[in-house]
Structure formats: structure tokens, C-alpha cells
Amino acid sequence: MISRWLAVAAFGTLVGLGYAVLARPAKPEVVLGAYVTSLNGRDGGQRRNAETCLKKLNGTVIEAGETFSFNQIVGTWSRDAGYAKAPVSYGGQLIPFWGGGVCQTSSTVYNAALLAGLPIVQRHKHHFAPGYVAAGRDAAVAYPNIDLQFLNDTGAPIEVRGRVQGDTLLVELIEPRPLHRPVRIAQRMMQERRPMTLRTGSGPTVKQRNPGKVGSQVATYRLWPDREELLSVDSYPVMHRILESR
């Protein structure tokens, strides 16, 4: 009986069973920017939609000098593309719509790009501030016109990697070489309004139609060692809590 064995020799050569194969050295990888958001409190449709578009983004390579477009990669949010109807904010109310929850993924990508020090080409805020990121750090998308775009100005390819781990959604921007871009994100709250509780009808409370959201005006900055970059000044109206009574 012949016992099989494989041993890793010096210089990355695999030796065994009378032959040798030259092993390819692992490619160097550097996390240029990464961000995590929580899926806690998201319903099944929102989680499904966030993960569906994340799978389309995962493995995307942004070549040097190329502009990343979220909508170009993800495409439309239809049932045929694997999306579900899930709550979205519209006209001050939460209504079911195809692709509800996709903006959590785009917002996570946006923050990874901010921390990577990449120039933002296009970014839009939500009408009401979402709960999965701080106000002013969200990135709304709606195919085809409301997009998230940023430029790869690093001189090397960047790979987008994304995955869901338990109740967290992670996005990493990977580069093959070290690139030191020490940046921090800072915010200044300029105004804040707390929601009121409003009731419809005069009978006992039947259900909560709207949970309410804080209204605010916030300035967001990217801080470099030698300068301060104003990213946005965003205003979000207050969304009052509505209890439905009969």
C-alpha cells in the first residue's frame, strides 16, 4: 500500500507522488475601505433585496480611471431579477415596492468609498433619513437616474467584495497594493426636530401606521491630514409617528 503525501517545499513548490508543481504566490491584497451596516429590524423582503443586489456587486472590478456606477451593475429591481416587494418611504408613509431595501447596500458601498478616499461623482440623499446609517451618510438609488457613482483614482484596479454575515452587511474595496489614505468622516448636526405622535380616529389604537423619524440638517465632512472636504449638507424633514384608531 502506497501512502500518499504532499509537502510544501521552499519557494512555493508542491512536491509529491514523483512530480512537482510550481504554486502561484498569493496575490497581495489591501482593504482600501470597508463598511458594515446592521440588518436588525429589516423585514424579510428588505433583507432579500439588499443581499440580491450585493451578490451582483460582489467581485466587480473597477479599473484604474474608471467610474463605478451602482445602477449600471445592479440593473432594474424586478421580480424576474429576484427582488421582492418591501417597505419604502414614499410621501411620508411606508409602502411596499419592488426592491425596497436596496438602498441599504448602496449606502454601505458609499461609506466604504468615503473611507477609501475615493472621489464621489454622484450621490443622492433619501427624502427621510434611513435608520441603518447616520443621517448624511446615506446614498439613495433608483434605476436608472438616481445613481451612486465614484471614481477609481488610485492607479490600480479595485475589487468590490460584499457579503452578509448574520445580521450584518459588509462591503470591502480591495486593492492589490498598499495605498495610504488616512481619512476620517466627521459630521456637524445643524438642526434636529423630534417627531410628534399623531392619532387618526377617536377609538382605541389599532396599529402603528408610521413609526416616525427624526428630522435634521447635517453637514458631512471627509477629514484628510492636510485639508477638510465638505461632502454634503443634507436636510431631512421630520416624519411624525402615526397611530391608527377606530
pLDDT in tens, the chain (246 residues): 333 333 333 333 334 444 454 555 567 789 999 999 999 999 999 999 999 999 999 999 999 999 999 999 999 999 999 999 998 877 656 789 999 999 999 999 999 999 999 999 999 999 999 999 999 999 999 999 999 999 999 999 999 999 999 999 999 999 998 888 899 999 999 999 998 988 888 878 678 877 788 899 999 999 999 999 999 999 999 988 888 887
H helices present in the chain, as ranges: 44-57, 70-74, 102-115
Please state, as a whole number, how many other Cβ atoms lie within 10 Å of the Cβ of residue 199: 12
Is residue 47 within 8 A of residue 82, CB to CB? The reply is no
End-to-end CA distance of the chain: 83
Of 110, 122, 95, give the one whose Cα is nearest residue 185. Answer: 110
Q: What is the DSSP letter of 194?
A: P
pTM, 2 dp? 0.84
- What is the rounded distance in angstroms from the CA atom of residue 240 to the CA atom of residue 237? 10
